[in-house]
Amino acid sequence: MIDDVRTLVTCESPSSDLAALARSADVVGELGARLTGSEPERLLDDGRPHLRWRFGDGDRVLLLGHHDTVWPVGSLEAHPCRVVDGAMYGPGCFDMKAGLVQMFHALAMLPDPDGISVLVTGDEELGAPTSRELIEEEARRARAVLVFEGSADGGALKTARKGIAHYELRIHGRAAHAGLEPWAGVNAAVELAHHVLALAELDAGPDGATVTPTVLSAGTTQNTVPDEASVRVDVRVPDADEARRVDDAIRAVTPRVPGARVDVVTGPSHPPMEPSSSAELYGLAEEVAASLGIDPLGSARVGGASDGNVAAGVGTPTLDGLGAVGGGAHAAGEHVLVDHMPVRAELAAGVIRHLQERPVSTDSGVDEPKNRGERA
């Protein structure tokens, strides 16, 4: 397993580099074919390679992962792949190349992979712009989705993830000379200031929606009333009610400065993965862990989103965090605890076997997401 992780990590695969992603897809495909005996389908969308395996009808369990990383080509020079004191280091090892290795080794442990589908995408780190519909399609076909992202702290499974929504408020004013006749202008920066403060008031703290103005811009020169301004907003929501509350409030903004105009533009979004989506699967995972003599796994709600949000968003029971135990994702100290890799693979194999024989309920209580358009 260490050798397999090293093979994937040393094939660098930043999301923005299509040539590197193509090489990575080849390496992941070879790994999966060796361990499962089956070649993948290679699915290209806008030049981005995604890989799919189907065993039988592939409609019982979907195993979900991604092979792209945030690390640019050349990162291995400063952060070489190595094992030190039981930890494996290297760009993308925790997020999530070790998880892919564990997933394929778990499949190799099964007497028969019938009823299983595997989807490995190439744009998760970008928010799944080309793979979203593919993930939704595969998740709708399955009775359960297991996501092999890295675990939460201490190996806990991820049973809830906040949803993400991105917005941009674009302010249109009117330019004027700041010294000669500022009153003839419509100051977009002043209008922007009103909305930044209003956005901050939508924040409900750690347990509710977090609303964070991030990138701001206004003006072109010191002596000109700004005629354009903008603010980008990062929103994280624990459930659909909070998502609607914040979305309704942002879409209802009105100008404060006479003569100004405000456009609200939406960006990529992920629905929340609510605890109801994972409850039955999490209980099953704990049962399997106990039967294998593994300590209780524990569960965690996390703020970051993954492809698991997309799968859960169509109503399919989804459990995340079944991948590597480690930490430091996206940072210099990214690492995997190697002793846990075979244990997690065995755990995953046990959960998959149970799901092949005993499907879970597909009624997760999650509403079908609605496409509300790109501009309001």
Specify the pTM.
0.87
- At 331-359, the pLDDT tens digits run 999 999 999 999 999 999 999 999 999 87
350 and 229 share a domain? no
41 and 180 share a domain? no
A 10 A CB-CB count for 72 gives 13
> Which residue, of 270, 293, 310, is where some domain finishes?
270
What is the residue-wise DSSP string for 155-191? Answer: G-EEEEE-EEEEEEEEEE-B--BTTT-GGGSB-HHHH
339 is an active site residue: no
Q: What is the mean pLDDT of residues 276-293?
A: 97
256 and 317 share a domain? no
| pLDDT score for 362 | 58
58 and 118 share a domain? yes
Q: Which uninterrupted H or E stretch holds 51? A: strand 48-54
Candidates 130, 164, 167, 161; CA nearest to 269 is: 164
**Alpha-carbon span 91 to 59, nearest angstrom:** 33
Q: Is 369 part of a structural domain of the chain?
A: no
| pLDDT score for 358 | 84
SS3 assignment, position 76: helix
Helices marked H in the chain: 2-9, 18-36, 75-78, 98-109, 132-141, 188-201, 240-251, 275-291, 307-313, 340-357
**Alpha-carbon span 115 to 107, nearest angstrom:** 12
% of the chain at pLDDT higher than 70: 96
265 and 295 share a domain? no
**Alpha-carbon span 110 to 355, nearest angstrom:** 12
| pLDDT score for 340 | 98
| pLDDT score for 374 | 28
- Candidates 4, 68, 138, 274; catalytic one: 68
Prior bond of 96 cis (ω within 30°): yes
SS3 assignment, position 105: helix
Q: Is 362 part of a structural domain of the chain?
A: no
| pLDDT score for 268 | 73
Give the CATH number of the domain where residue 20 resides. Answer: 3.40.630.10
| pLDDT score for 81 | 97
- Candidates 12, 123, 124, 320; catalytic one: 124
Q: How far is CA 30 from CA 38, 217, 301, in A?
A: 10, 47, 34
Place of tokens 């009610």: 241
Give the CATH number of the domain where residue 254 resides. Answer: 3.30.70.360
Helices marked H in 226-370: 240-251, 275-291, 307-313, 340-357
> Which residue, of 270, 299, 333, is where some domain finishes?
270
- At 9-46, the pLDDT tens digits run 999 999 999 999 999 999 999 999 999 999 999 999 99
87 and 201 share a domain? no
| pLDDT score for 203 | 97
170, 376 contact by CB (below 8 A): no
198 and 111 share a domain? no
| pLDDT score for 363 | 54
Q: Is 370 part of a structural domain of the chain?
A: no
Model confidence at 304, pLDDT cuts 50, 70, 90, reads confident
Lowest mean pLDDT among 6-10, 217-221, 301-305: 301-305
27 and 116 share a domain? yes
A 10 A CB-CB count for 361 gives 10
68 is an active site residue: yes
139, 314 contact by CB (below 8 A): yes
103 and 137 share a domain? yes
Q: Is 367 part of a structural domain of the chain?
A: no
Q: Is 115 part of a structural domain of the chain?
A: yes
| pLDDT score for 370 | 35
Number of domains in the chain: 2
> Which residue, of 247, 270, 293, is where some domain finishes?
270
Domain residues for the domain of 54 are 2-162+272-357
SS3 assignment, position 281: helix
Question: What amino acid occupies position 271?
Answer: P
286 and 215 share a domain? no
Q: Is 365 part of a structural domain of the chain?
A: no
Q: Is 257 part of a structural domain of the chain?
A: yes
- At 134-169, the pLDDT tens digits run 999 999 999 999 999 999 999 999 999 999 999 999
- At 57-98, the pLDDT tens digits run 999 999 999 999 999 999 999 999 999 999 999 999 999 999
**Alpha-carbon span 294 to 271, nearest angstrom:** 32
169 and 134 share a domain? no
Residue 248 has pLDDT above 90, yes or no: yes
Q: Is 366 part of a structural domain of the chain?
A: no
15 and 132 share a domain? yes
| pLDDT score for 35 | 98
Residue 375 has pLDDT above 60, yes or no: no
**Alpha-carbon span 81 to 107, nearest angstrom:** 25
